[in-house]
Structure 1
Amino acid sequence: MDIVILSALEIDTDFNVNVLTGSDGVMRGASGGHCDVAAAANLTIVVAPLIRSRIPTVVRHVTTRVTPGESIDVLVTDHGIAVNPARPEVKERLTAAGLPVVDIEALYQTSPGDFWRAQAY
Structure 2
Amino acid sequence: MITTTTGERTTGYLPPWAAEDPSEQDLLPDEMAARLAGLGHVAEFPGPAGLEILRAGITFTPHAAAPEPAIPVATVWVADAYQIADLDPTGPAEIVQSLRSVADRLDHVAIPHLNDIRAAWTTHHTYRTGARP
Give the structure-2-normalised TM-score.
Answer: 0.19
**What's the TM-score once normalised by structure 1's chain length?**
0.20
Higher relative contact order, structure no. (Cα contacts within 8 Å, ≥ 6 residues apart): 1
